[in-house]
A and B are shown apart, each in its own frame.
Chain A
């Protein structure tokens, strides 16, 4: 059995490590390129959203490399994501591929279902083995998220801003290669040190921008045209409201294991504007925008794939939030376009707006 799974940002690093620890042979899909996008667009329904198409592209490229089992997440609620696995399975079957699709449904308190899925994958396996695989994967997931945060927090201050991405890319490789949890920790402090050693611009107060929106396009740089890097190199401190590990803690961990009450805080913050679940991350986009305002951010950018229903709801609410809190918000719809000129124009104009707003506030 050769297992594969879709890309989403740096997710492949922890997932690969976890699956290998479970004794599986893993085929990581080749990095996302235009070819992935072309394959996905060609074989997916036109009206489906970008993440579905990217997944299909990933699967095809992985199947070409010999994968025979696809691992995919499932879901419940109003977002179409819950059906992706099934739809994708049918698309690939229609194309004549021979493979097995295993869909991991969210727990919803039912651990038995999870064990059944794991059994499908690895047969009878000691529970301690599952635990150690999880722990290793989790350590790597935490580590890649941490260095992503570090890169974003360091980049705007650097004399040579492109160095942040260099250290970050290098760091991802180191974490990927780490053999043990201990090794992950050693590598992590090595990378931290490297970030600290970069030459910084003193007396520089960067603008601060928060990213909210649909998880896939926020986490996958190919689909958001490298927004973190673009903004960072314009001298902006970027913070993502969603990280893979946060999402897992919030959605998969039973509540007593959650380290912070972030989910609850977000809901409370969104309350005056939206007080129930609308699918996907619609509620979070509203709540996180309010939280960014409380944390003194200069602006918020909402990213979502074209036709994403939960985010369209958030998009229609955000102008009110923006006005109430005097916090500029820019909504950007991502689709299969790869032309960057129009995108950069909007980002630049938004940053200009924030700069001039801050300058004016300083004068007052």
Chain B
């Protein structure tokens, strides 16, 4: 499959009379987008705000981050199963608004959402302090159940992102990147001497408020399957969860998966990037056994020489991670894990909740328990009402001087387990 991503560099977002993309600027009339959100009767009200890199702004509680895109050539449309029909995506041409993100915010459950600081030490930990953010804060109708609210905000985010993406239709991109994978036979003939490498991505699928969707399907219902790595770029995999902010994979990161980017960068040079294999992280132990068995079998049947394995979350998913690693290695397929760590505030504890000798090649996104003091910022988009309650915070979080004492797990994508974070030992 061959997908062209046309990148339109956005250098500013401004509120204006007319919504459009012109000269690298996204102009937004919020009134154009409010009805798109409010068409779901579960959402009582919404407001939009803009947060720019370097501004003294804190966005919280963050639910999802989405990159607006529009499909201009080829089968299907963005966010298949939600916005578009379920045609197989990942080929043709897609335009992406780069340098910006749509951030959805609002209280879903009192403890599971993230923080994005646009300046200060917190900004160093989140990749979304470097994007121009259009923030959408939703308020639910009275008495709405948490999981209904999550679904409403999730879907409203995709509708708004798709409508923003449409503004880019017809615009000449600043840069075009081409991603192309081969069929199995074609790849073997074309790159006979290169190692065959796959990417196994574990999707968060523990239950309501902990789910990921593939073409609209709840991924805890799937058995592992093969995808072209370009499908995720068109929004075939979307986040539907409210797990810890630091290591959840927002939709934006599925669209811009750094593992896929880097494997494509080496495709045809040092490796033959064969495919993405998706699997899940269910709570039921028999499901874990079945899925890891299937994943290992697929790796073997595809004659892979090596894989990169990424997860989402901590605890329960660590068991899937280790099961996958052990079984895939046992098939003779070299496995590299990308994860993060919960090694305690002093960094001295066991990092993962599970382990095995087969897990001998591990890349870490950082220690989520590391403590940081975040300064008081001038403006909050969303609300600080829940800041003491989110994962990684405590009743001492909001201090008298307005500063926050938190573990970095409160910061969106701080220790991202697909390697999208900024922490490094270099």
Query: Are chains A and B native binding partners rather than an unrelated pairing?
Result: no
